[in-house]
Structure 1
């Protein structure tokens, strides 16, 4: 889902002191008078702390905020019009057998699409989308309505339409940024964000009878939903609360700036925890003992909360929060990682765009949380030198966190792949590969059990294959330099990758969308087998939103959305048929205008594919 986000405000550097390894716990001592039997958040180092009580928690917010307020408010004011998380750059499964590699053991077979019909980053972790499928039932969100279809017959058949309103009886979203859903055991959990980006509504709909769905709960929370993930039957929503919107004064008169600054500081001192934490009907959603406070005052101020919801009992919720403002997060099957990047400002055209500003320290703090049932528990923290572009730049497998970073004031003018491991309560550096794309920008990253594929770009498109078999000693195996770049990489088996991105001239001037087929049989010598170049000024939808890419392994067909034009936009489905190392392309015009961003191609267990456009749900003919 694309939207425009405006963020203006003071730039706060992001840095973090090294973990000191001192053990202590959040909250009261276990067994202490009046204290809980066990601390709600267990900490084992000093990177995160906890306030003694709610008064101290509020004081910590106010103390940090006073450093940010001036005669014009928050450094000129802060407005955040955000949207649900949709896509970002990513990438990569086709023939049997392991790639040839002098070190052996490298595999590209970990990543596949989710059975809900959504192309996801991590196997076993479903992501919210505007369309979901379970058996013969297909659900889609459209203009604030949840539409249920039977897709078992000759044509999709509409079963019901359910209006999704917030707890106040009004639409959960007005215009951009829309809403998304996950589907759990016959219940849909819909998360919609208000058009001002300040509140989100979590709605649970029972579909035991899909011809007559029932809304069982609708909870409106003050906070912007930036990610929704499904682990088993637990729905996790990441909520962001930035700096409060206060009625700041502005300078006038001879001593205007001094008076305005004093008034504005007084407003900050008068804030309550309801101004800083996510709230439901004005009451904080998070207990004070569940809010961790970073020891570094330069980390962007706000609150990032992980809310866990049980769809079977929507009022049974657990929360864990950190007193920082960041939408840079990644979920594996058993970990949640939060990167404390500095706040951004300026125009941002879509969620998860690659527009990272280096922090003043040149380092990015990382916090790791263990996922166990509905619990989200802090376990370790550390930092990396460099900038992290988006969630696709992070990956965890086998106890190793792998991160692709761009340059910062603490690095050279190149990109790197780093590995970290949990050592007690610390995320410690394990291994690294440097000098990937000197003077270039990371455009896409795809991770596998023991392999990373990284694409950078300035004038040419270097594709790097990095062996991660030994996390402590990653090795650059090979690289391929070609014109253009891939914004999204998808595996077509263990020997093939397809990259969706932009064609470019030898001088680095982009010309239009392209699809490139790569052979990674020999990782020391990756090759481009074929390329399909689309018309001038076209865009590959998967570059912004990977959910606009679908791989059909049985048919050996890739389906992806390609669009052209900013006004008078036209969208096509590109049908890429693969055979003998080549791609045959067929273009099918399917949509126009802003609805192009919501086009989905959903594979069914029957082998058929559902095409979802702005107004229609139909079966898509794979053969021309």
Structure 2
């Protein structure tokens, strides 16, 4: 099928070229070839420009690509598929002790979504393998959409929809698929084996006993994130370096000849090799692809595609000419962090940490404003250092907050920075440095006026940073303990739980742990209890936060713990909190690769659904 595209409201290349000349893109079309006196949306600055024609856009890709091809193909010859309880010691820095501006954790922005998924941002749902709406539970299993009625004593299977069209267009059981659910329709995403193709299938569930597939579209691109804003589904698509029929030198075909032929292949590429396409046609217009002015960031294309589930043929798209899977959505902004070129395999896990490197030690950032179906460039800038993943970014009240690790342009420490939009630039507003010297950021959790940052090398410093004044963030206190937390979750205003790894005093990981923190006094955060799991075990939430569920009324946390690389066993750890302590009960629920798909989903009825590889049941919290 052909995609009917609704692009941003630029009427012609000539009017866009005029806008770029003065550093703006039109937010509304005031007339052919004219530019309003006060353009509503800023676009172009020294970091970001737009090609005047499609030929110019293609030339920009080819010019950079020629520098990256050699006698063995891209780079060194590998095809790039992606950017791809112990004693505690607390300290309260004297510089901030007298200027305390925050005395508790505000948790209004961090909660599980009503669809049953544990999300990063309140009001922004995320894709998952399980979704609920009232008494309806949906789950994906090997290209099959299963619908259950969970209103009775036991879950009852209503229907099973084989996504046959998706299979014929490249669906695979591995990496499986994820979905969002909106207004009685499921939007399901699946990937091809090589990670270069995404199938988007829209399923109407008006009658959940007889669902119907209303649209199936296959896009040449890899989906790295899916978000739901109201009734708009947004998909982040990645296109890395094209697969070309490169030559390789041998005795009769030397390196010089191979390199010349390979460069010729790059010069022969078309925009369909660089942009996401449906049936060979790009889904983003040339005038909606922004070109970064930095030759050292990963070459490729990252596209934000918006889909209307009520009319799946209606889409909007905008893109940046770089390949990156490090992105963050707030309720009204999308931020893309560009990384340096990376070579090797790709990961099939959406939103997982990739260990992205910063080009030249500095990470470019691009900001988009979200309005209905549109995503429009508004500002760009950069930060010195590396951004590990989406959890390292946050936005509130117009302030972008970023946790960065060390790079060639920084000291041997981590930092938290605040940035603001100044015209079309993202400019630094304030910062805190010297967090975890010679250590790596393991987890970050943001609140309205607070950041909690965990780093690790041999011990686990937990830092509390006051962000109530973005121009003057302050380190309030820190806690040093063995082990580290890979995922942090708020448990009310005064408690945090951290899922991660226990470690010896010399930094050797020993097994999964759950740590309970008291943050009533942010100048003196304390670890008040810890549960240690068997040796060589893993906390699922450390990789995928969707394997953590908090039940505030019962004061119970449910989280998946696994052990073993072969013969893997998965448990649900039932952590009951009472007066500052935790008790743990382990329930064996799954084995093998299916452990990664275990979900514990709160239902409207107050029950909790346990979804395993082969079954859906109700989980007995009390045991």
**TM-score (norm. length: structure 1):** 0.90
Change (3 A) 1:63 1:39: farther
- Asked if residue 561 in structure 1 is aligned to residue 563 in structure 2, the reply is no
Closer/same/farther in 2, CA of residues 221 and 63 from structure 1, 3 Å limit: same
Gap change, CA 1:28 and 1:447, over 3 Å in 2: closer
Task: Please name the residue that 2:12 is paired with.
Answer: none
| Structure 1 match to 2:283 | 285
For structure 1, the 5+ residue unaligned runs are: 1-19, 86-99
Bigger drift between 27-36 and 605-614 goes to 27-36
Structure 1 residue 184 and structure 2 residue 196: aligned?
A: no
The answer for the alignment partner of 2:251 in structure 1 is 253
- Give the C-alpha shift of residue 45 in structure 1: 1.6
Q: Superposed, which structure 2 residues align to 1:368-379 within 5 Å?
A: 368-379=367-378
1:485, 1:502 within 8 Å by CA — same for their partners in 2?
Answer: yes
The 3 A distance-change label for structure 1 pair 603 and 622 is: same
For the residue of structure 1 that corresponds to 2:273, the secondary structure is helix
Partner in structure 2 of residue 6 of structure 1: none
The reply to whether residue 336 of structure 1 matches residue 323 of structure 2 is no
Partner of 1:581: 580
Task: Give the CA RMSD over aligned residues.
Answer: 2.4
Q: TM-score, with normalisation over the residues of structure 2?
A: 0.90
* 8 A contact 1:174–1:195 mirrored in 2: yes
Question: Partners of 2:600 and 2:383 in 1: how far apart?
Answer: 38
Q: Which residue of 2 aligns with 1:381?
A: 380
Cα distance change on mapping 1:543 and 1:325 into 2, 3 Å? same
Task: Give the aligned partner of residue 64 of structure 1.
Answer: 64
Q: How does 1:257-272 map to 2 (within 5 A)?
A: 257-272=255-270
Name the counterpart of 2:303.
305
Deviations 1:600-621 (A, max 9, x none): 0000121100000000000000
Structure-2 residue corresponding to 1:88:
none
- Structure 2 CA distance for partners of 1:262 and 1:82, relative to 1, 3 Å: closer
Bigger RCO of structures 1 and 2 (CA < 8 A, at least 6 apart): 1
CA apart distance, 1:298: 1.8
Q: CA deviation at 1:448?
A: 0.3
> Within 1, Cα distance between the matches of 2:130 and 2:434?
40
Cα distance, 1:171 vs. partner? Answer: 6.2
User: What are the within-5 Å matches in structure 2 for residues 86-485 of structure 1?
Assistant: 102-104=100-102, 107-109=105-107, 110-166=109-165, 170=168, 172-253=170-251, 256-346=254-344, 351=349, 352-485=351-484
Q: How many residues align structurally?
A: 588
Q: Counterpart in 1 of 2:6?
A: none
How many Å apart are 1:206 and its aligned residue? 0.4
- 1:98-129 deviations in Å (ceiling 9; x for gaps): xx993246542121110100000000000000
Q: Secondary structure of the equivalent of 2:60?
A: helix
Q: 1: CA distance between counterparts of 2:110 and 2:29?
A: 43
Q: Secondary structure at the match of 2:451?
A: strand
SS, match of residue 313 in structure 1: coil
Q: Secondary structure at the match of 1:413?
A: coil
Gaps of 5+ in 2: 1-19, 85-97
The secondary structure found in structure 2 opposite 1:605 is coil
Q: Quick check: 1:519–1:526 contact (8 Å CA) kept in 2?
A: yes
Q: Deviations over 1:143-186 (max 9, x none)?
A: 1000000000000000001112346x616422321100000000
**Are the aligned partners of 2:232 and 2:307 in contact in 1 as well (CA < 8 Å)?**
yes
Contact 1:405-1:416 at 8 Å conserved across structures: yes
Task: Identify if the C-alpha distance between structure 1 residues 350 and 565 changes in structure 2 by more than 3 Å, giving closer, same or farther.
Answer: farther
Cα pair 1:164 1:171 within 8 Å, conserved: no
CA contact (8 A) 1:577 1:583 kept: yes
1:21: Cα distance to partner?
12
Shift of 1:593: 0.2
Q: CA deviation at 1:22?
A: 5.9
Deviation at 1:47, TM superposition (A): 1.6
CA contact (8 A) 1:568 1:593 kept: yes
Residues 10-29 of structure 1 aligned to structure 2 (within 5 Å): 23-25=23-25
Any residues of structure 2 matched to 1:459-608 within 5 Å, and which? 459-608=458-607
Match of 1:47 in 2: 47
Decide which moves more: 487-496 or 354-363: 354-363
Asked if the contact 2:241–2:274 (Cα under 8 Å) also holds between the matched residues in 1, the reply is yes
Contact 1:141–1:147 under 8 Å retained in 2: yes
Match of residue 13 from structure 2: none
Measured after TM superposition, the shift of residue 54 of structure 1 is 1.2
Please state whether the residue corresponding to 2:255 is helix, strand or coil. Answer: helix
Q: Note if contact 2:103-2:520 (Cα within 8 Å) is conserved in structure 1.
A: no
Deviation at 1:23, TM superposition (A): 2.3
Counterparts of 1:318 and 1:404 in 2: how far apart (Å)? 31
